[in-house]
């Protein structure tokens, strides 16, 4: 999956790999993938299209330089004991539907909850570290007791749960272990939870998540080094200041032939922001949040995506357009679902259950609404009218919002491609945490 010629010295396993966002980030951070696992067919196709290969039935550790081995299918059928002692980092975002709000008191769990498979993987592999990503909703008061239980399971994964026991009963056993403090260091993990907004790490998207990081208890890790390594690098205030100073607008002038941002757009944006513009720069060494406009112009170096002509909203792939940069018709935004604005980070990319999501994948352009063009009636009824034309974001534009490179090929129909992106970890966000784990492990080895 990586084109880098240098073979990394550290190793990784990725469960629930999806379309490859976290797997890509982990490999970019210097970890050689020993195993990938995914259940969804189109996501597996994507992984193989981008360099992974079917592992087959043989349980073996690949040699350096081999393609990452992929096992398609249910993680519950996956045996991982052959990897024991060979893995530095276990990574994944387990699907977690712990219970309905009405079932919390009873401790009723959803069968789609895959955290138990993450616990089993830790028991079988005994990795030095792990990374789990999930939705911020697990910290809501209604779910918090179960999330605390997940954390304790990650701390003490070798205390297997009785199949007949509820999570509440097992949690009581784990709490007692935590209070006694008598578990062997190699059978416990130090666990850290980080609530994050991906925009604070250079991702051009508002995406609130939790990332849980753990290190095996026998490792002498520097906790402060970890916290420093995952501290935010970008801020909203710096974006507003760059707009106020004009630096942001200057950066978008003549971007490889693209027209400058129209004055009427700048005027509208600055007029709306005037009441909240900061007065002065702080001493923090933070960069500005990246916006949707930044992603489409791509200040990361790939160059601008061409505009989608209004007469090409027809589901067709044109030869003169990048792959999957396909116009889609009938875009609308709904009550409660405002569109994406070019000069803000995009809204959270969601997986959705339909081929084309709702307002979250609609964006306003710089093209003014024509004199005879009607305003979207649903938006107007909701009191949301905008003087610019709107359209659906393309798959390639959405991939940029998730910081996937342009050469990463997504398989399946449009709806499945969007689902893979919505379920993924933004690559830049994943890199921050994977590199932090590598830094902490390197430091721990030097200290031992």
Tell me the per-residue pLDDT of 307-341, one tens digit each, with 9 for 90 and over: 999 999 999 999 999 999 999 999 887 777 788 99
pLDDT of residue 142: 83
DSSP for residue 340: B
User: Do 347 and 362 touch, CB atoms closer than 8 A?
Assistant: no
- Alpha-carbon distances of 24 from 163, 223, 286, rounded to whole Å: 35, 25, 25
DSSP for residue 165: S
Q: How does residue 375 score in pLDDT terms, banded at 50, 70 and 90?
A: low
Sequential DSSP letters for 64-85: TTSPPEEEES-GGG---GGGTT
Q: How does residue 275 score in pLDDT terms, banded at 50, 70 and 90?
A: confident
User: Do 29 and 429 touch, CB atoms closer than 8 A?
Assistant: no
pLDDT of residue 393: 95
Q: Is the pLDDT of residue 382 over 60?
A: no
Q: Is the pLDDT of residue 428 over 90?
A: yes
pLDDT of residue 88: 98
pLDDT of residue 106: 46
Q: What is the pTM of this model?
A: 0.92
Helix axes 41-49, 414-423, angle to 10 degrees: 80
- Buried residues in 235-271 as b, exposed as e (16+ CB within 10 A): bbbbbbbbbbeeebbeebeebeebeebeeebbebbee
pLDDT digits (tens, 9 = 90+) for 85-102: 999 999 999 987 665 444
Q: Is the pLDDT of residue 154 over 80?
A: yes
Strand order through the sheet with 69-72: 53-54, 69-72, 31-38, 10-15, 89-92, 129-135, 208-216, 189-197
Catalytic site residue from 44, 96, 132, 411: 96
Which has more pLDDT, 105 or 253?
253
Which has more pLDDT, 358 or 49?
49
Give the dihedral sign, CA 279/202/114/120. negative
Average pLDDT over residues 393-397: 96
Three-class SS of residue 124?
helix
pLDDT digits (tens, 9 = 90+) for 174-199: 999 999 999 999 999 999 999 999 99
Domains detected in the chain: 10-233+423-447 (3.40.50.150), 234-422 (3.90.120)
Q: How does residue 218 score in pLDDT terms, banded at 50, 70 and 90?
A: very high
User: Do 251 and 299 touch, CB atoms closer than 8 A?
Assistant: yes
Q: Is the pLDDT of residue 173 over 70?
A: yes
Q: Which residues contact 413 (CB under 8 A, 6 or more apart)?
A: 355
Q: Which two tokens stand for residue 376?
A: 């979207």
Q: How does residue 373 score in pLDDT terms, banded at 50, 70 and 90?
A: low
> Mean pLDDT of all residues in the chain?
89
Q: How does residue 240 score in pLDDT terms, banded at 50, 70 and 90?
A: very high
pLDDT of residue 414: 94
Q: What percent of the chain has pLDDT over 90?
A: 72
- Alpha-carbon distances of 426 from 149, 229, 283, 382, 396, rounded to whole Å: 27, 17, 28, 32, 14
User: Do 354 and 418 touch, CB atoms closer than 8 A?
Assistant: no
Q: Which two tokens stand for residue 406?
A: 């342009």
pLDDT of residue 35: 98
Specify the residue for token string 């209004």: 310
Distance CA 264, CA 346 (A): 21
pLDDT of residue 258: 60
Specify the residue for token string 């990938």: 36
DSSP for residue 382: T
Average pLDDT over residues 223-229: 98
pLDDT of residue 280: 76
- Buried residues in 107-136 as b, exposed as e (16+ CB within 10 A): bebeeebbbbbbbbbbbbbbbbbbbbbbee
Specify the residue for token string 């402060």: 224
pLDDT digits (tens, 9 = 90+) for 50-64: 999 999 999 999 999
Q: How does residue 377 score in pLDDT terms, banded at 50, 70 and 90?
A: low
Q: Is the pLDDT of residue 78 over 60?
A: yes
Question: Does residue 96 carry a catalytic annotation?
Answer: yes
In a 13 Å sphere around the CA of 392, the CA atoms on its Cβ side amount to: 23
pLDDT of residue 107: 47
């Amino acid at each position: 999956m990586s084109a880098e010629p240098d073979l990394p010295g550290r190793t990784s396993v990725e469960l629930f790999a999806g379309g490859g966002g976290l797997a890509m980030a982990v490999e970019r951070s210097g970890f050689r993938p020993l195993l990938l696992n995914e259940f969804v067919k189109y996501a597996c196709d994507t992984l193989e299209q981008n360099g992974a290969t079917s592992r087959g039935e043989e349980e073996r550790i690949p040699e350096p330089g081999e393609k990452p081995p992929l096992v398609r299918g249910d993680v519950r059928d996956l045996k991982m004991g052959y990897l024991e002692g060979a893995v530095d980092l276990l990574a994944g975002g387990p699907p977690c539907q712990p219970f309905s709000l009405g079932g919390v008191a009873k401790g009723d769990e959803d069968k789609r909850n895959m955290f138990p498979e993450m616990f089993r993987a830790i028991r079988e592999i005994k990795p030095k570290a792990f990374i789990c990503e999930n939705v911020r909703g697990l910290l809501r008061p209604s779910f918090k007791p179960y999330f605390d239980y997940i954390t304790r399971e990650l701390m003490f994964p070798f205390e297997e749960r009785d199949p007949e026991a509820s999570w509440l009963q097992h949690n009581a056993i784990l709490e007692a272990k935590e209070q006694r403090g008598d578990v062997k260091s190699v059978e416990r993990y130090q666990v850290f939870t980080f609530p994050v907004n991906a925009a604070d790490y250079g991702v051009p998207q508002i995406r609130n998540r939790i990332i849980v990081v753990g290190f095996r208890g026998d490792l002498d890790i520097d906790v402060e080094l970890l916290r420093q390594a995952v501290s935010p690098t970008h801020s909203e205030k710096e974006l507003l200041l760059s707009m106020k100073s004009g630096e942001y607008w200057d950066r978008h002038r003549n971007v490889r032939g693209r027209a400058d941002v129209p004055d009427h757009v700048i005027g509208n944006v600055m007029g709306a922001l005037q009441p909240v513009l900061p007065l002065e720069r702080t001493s923090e060494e933070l960069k500005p949040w990246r916006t949707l406009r930044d992603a489409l112009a791509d200040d990361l170096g790939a160059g601008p995506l061409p505009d989608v002509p209004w007469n090409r909203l027809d589901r067709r792939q044109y030869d003169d357009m990048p792959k999957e940069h396909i116009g889609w018709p009938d875009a609308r935004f709904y009550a409660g679902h405002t569109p994406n604005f070019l000069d803000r980070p995009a809204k959270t990319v969601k997986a959705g259950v339909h081929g084309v999501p709702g307002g979250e994948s609609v964006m306003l352009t710089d093209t003014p609404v024509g004199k005879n063009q009607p305003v979207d009636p649903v938006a107007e009824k909701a009191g949301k009218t905008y003087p610019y034309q709107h359209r659906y974001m393309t798959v390639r534009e959405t991939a940029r919002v998730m910081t996937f490179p342009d050469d990463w090929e997504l398989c399946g129909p449009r709806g499945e491609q969007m689902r893979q992106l919505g379920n993924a970890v933004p690559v830049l966000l994943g890199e921050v945490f994977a590199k932090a784990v590598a830094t902490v492990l390197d430091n721990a080895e030097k200290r031992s």
